[in-house]
């Protein structure tokens, strides 16, 4: 029932349908019941339905405006009954780079990185189901399911690989799962401070992903009835000029919120009990696949987070050490792993803080794969071991 509800709510017209049902209930009660108190109650129901219906209509008008303003820049490809948007640019001839942003984000989250390298290498952005221009697809949303959808989308778009899969944060978890399930199509795996499942299963923040899922669900409910947190997200200009603003506007679609709610339900500690085996990438599972773990050596934003979860003191220090060590476990997934340190002073979101460093790191990865630089490649302001 939960998945059926999410599937229904992921349609932008769902708010209007709900408002119509509430209106019908209110009118029926007002007409059929004679007691004054009940007629007042159902009159209030009618008024509420009219307010919700007006908000639902305003939401549909806003969505229509966004869609006309931002048509998909790439191709919509069918992956078995639903469409996924894929933007592939740059010359062919070597391994293509496939980018995944943090969280359950669309391709525009990595657009700045994409446009910095598309002139010299094949670069691909994919909107995960529900994000950007992609349909939500079937529910529940799972990492394992999205792995196959991504690979089918690449094939349908005529992209044959091999691919360098690059993922930041939870996008790194998706990239690692693609590499594990499709090693022959993976030339290298680049993890930009990727989040390991250990953090979810054993970490102290047991409400973390579950809370994010609940927040996404209620944000979706507000949006389908036209209630937004502000006058509206950014998005001035074109996709090229303001990709992050365009991404926020596109995520006004109901499908973005409810797909996010579903995937975070999987990534909550309780949700992973039944799916951890399908989602983890463990020691040695990638054989000798080239793996690059790119992350800061130190991150001063971790300590306040740890203290916010468990309070100050030894427990926070333990949680902080755990967060760092859990991330380093990805190094054990392959016998050909390399640790690359992000520039000093950057944090978990270093792809946005130092995009030039990330792109230069990818140039080094491509050079390694081509056999042109061997172990001598070192990105600026970073260190490799």
Check which CATH number belongs to the domain holding 274 and give it.
3.40.50.1820
Choosing from 49, 69, 89, the residue where a domain stops is 69
Q: What is the pLDDT of residue 376?
A: 40
Residue 29 shares a structural domain with residue 143: no
Q: Which residue has the higher pLDDT, 204 or 187?
A: 187
Distance CA 171, CA 369 (A): 22
Choosing from 69, 90, 105, the residue where a domain stops is 69
Residue 201 shares a structural domain with residue 294: yes
Q: Which residue has the higher pLDDT, 194 or 377?
A: 194
Q: CB–CB of 129/149 below 8 Å?
A: yes
User: Is the pLDDT reported for residue 202 higher than 90?
Assistant: no
Exposed/middle/buried for residue 206 (C-beta within 10 Å: 0-12, 13-18, 19+) = middle
Contacts of 155 (CB under 8 A, 6+ apart): none
Residue 229 shares a structural domain with residue 277: yes
**pLDDT band (50, 70, 90) for residue 237:** low
Residue 56 shares a structural domain with residue 167: no
Q: What is the pLDDT of residue 234?
A: 52
Q: What is the pLDDT of residue 35?
A: 85
Q: What is the pLDDT of residue 163?
A: 98
Q: What is the pLDDT of residue 379?
A: 44
User: Is the pLDDT reported for residue 133 higher than 60?
Assistant: yes
Q: What is the pLDDT of residue 354?
A: 97
Q: What is the pLDDT of residue 134?
A: 98
**pLDDT band (50, 70, 90) for residue 229:** confident
Percent of the chain with pLDDT over 70: 94
Q: Which residue has the higher pLDDT, 34 or 84?
A: 84
Report how far Cα 312 is from the mean position of its chain's Cα atoms: 31
Q: What is the pLDDT of residue 273?
A: 81
**For residues 247, 252, 253 and 254, what is the CA-based torsion angle, rounded to 10 degrees?**
130
Q: What is the pLDDT of residue 161?
A: 83
**pLDDT band (50, 70, 90) for residue 33:** confident
Contacts of 43 (CB under 8 A, 6+ apart): 26, 30
Q: Can you name the residues that pair with 166 across neighbouring β-strands? A: 99, 190
Residue 199 shares a structural domain with residue 288: yes
User: Is the pLDDT reported for residue 231 higher than 50?
Assistant: no
| pLDDT tens per residue, range 254-274 | 999 999 999 998 888 777 888
Average pLDDT over residues 92-111: 96
Residue 93 shares a structural domain with residue 56: no
Q: CB–CB of 338/379 below 8 Å?
A: no
Residue 101 shares a structural domain with residue 202: yes
Tokens, residue 220: 């979706």
For residue 195, which phi and psi values (nearest 5 degrees)?
Answer: -90, 120
Average pLDDT over residues 310-339: 94
Residue 172 shares a structural domain with residue 65: no
User: Is the pLDDT reported for residue 153 higher than 80?
Assistant: yes
Range of the domain at 307: 75-384
Residue 121 shares a structural domain with residue 6: no
Residue 129 shares a structural domain with residue 173: yes
Tell me the average pLDDT of the chain. Answer: 91
- Residue recorded with tokens 């209030």: 44
Instruction: Return the percent helix, strand and coil in the chain, to nearest 5.
Output: 55, 10, 35
Distance CA 260, CA 104 (A): 6
Residue 60 shares a structural domain with residue 79: no
Residue 205 shares a structural domain with residue 61: no
User: Is the pLDDT reported for residue 65 higher than 90?
Assistant: yes
Average pLDDT over residues 154-162: 94
Q: CB–CB of 336/384 below 8 Å?
A: no
Q: For the chain, what is the domain count?
A: 2
Distance CA 238, CA 147 (A): 30
Choosing from 69, 94, 119, the residue where a domain stops is 69
| pLDDT tens per residue, range 330-382 | 999 999 999 999 999 999 999 999 999 999 999 999 999 998 444 444 444 45
Average pLDDT over residues 214-236: 80
Average pLDDT over residues 146-161: 96
């Amino acid at each position: 029932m939960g998945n059926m509800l999410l599937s229904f709510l992921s349609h932008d017209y769902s708010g209007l349908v709900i408002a119509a049902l509430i209106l019908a209930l209110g009118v029926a009660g007002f007409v059929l019941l004679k007691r004054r108190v009940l007629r007042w109650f159902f009159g209030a129901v009618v008024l509420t339905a009219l307010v919700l219906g007006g908000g639902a209509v305003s939401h549909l008008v806003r969505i229509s405006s966004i869609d006309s303003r931002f048509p998909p820049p790439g191709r919509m490809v069918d992956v078995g009954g639903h469409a996924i948007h894929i933007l592939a640019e740059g010359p062919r001839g070597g391994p293509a780079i496939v980018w995944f942003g943090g969280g359950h984000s669309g391709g525009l989250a990595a657009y700045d990185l994409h446009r910095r390298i598309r002139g010299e290498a094949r670069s691909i952005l994919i909107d995960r189901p529900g994000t950007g221009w992609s349909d939500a697809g079937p529910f529940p949303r799972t990492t394992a399911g999205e792995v196959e959808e991504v690979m089918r989308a690449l094939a349908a778009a005529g992209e044959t690989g091999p691919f360098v899969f690059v993922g930041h944060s939870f996008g790194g978890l998706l990239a690692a799962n693609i590499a594990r399930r499709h090693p022959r199509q993976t030339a290298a795996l680049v993890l930009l401070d990727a989040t390991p499942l250990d953090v979810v299963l054993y970490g102290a923040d047991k409400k973390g992903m579950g809370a994010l899922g609940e927040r996404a669900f209620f944000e979706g409910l507000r949006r389908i009835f036209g209630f937004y947190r502000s006058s509206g997200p950014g998005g001035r200009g074109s996709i090229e000029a303001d990709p992050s603003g365009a991404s926020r506007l596109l995520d006004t679609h109901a499908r973005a919120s409810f797909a996010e709610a579903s995937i975070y339900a999987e990534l909550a500690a309780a949700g992973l009990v039944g799916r951890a085996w399908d989602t983890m990438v463990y020691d040695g599972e990638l054989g000798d696949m080239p793996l690059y773990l790119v992350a800061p050596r130190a991150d001063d934003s971790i300590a306040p987070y740890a203290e916010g979860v468990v309070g100050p003191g030894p427990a926070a220090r333990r949680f902080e050490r755990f967060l760092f060590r859990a991330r380093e476990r990805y190094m054990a997934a392959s016998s050909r792993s390399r640790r690359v340190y992000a520039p000093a002073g950057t944090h978990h979101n270093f792809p946005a803080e130092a995009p030039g460093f990330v792109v230069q790191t990818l140039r080094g990865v491509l050079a390694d794969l081509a056999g042109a630089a061997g172990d001598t490649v070192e990105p600026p302001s970073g260190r490799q071991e």
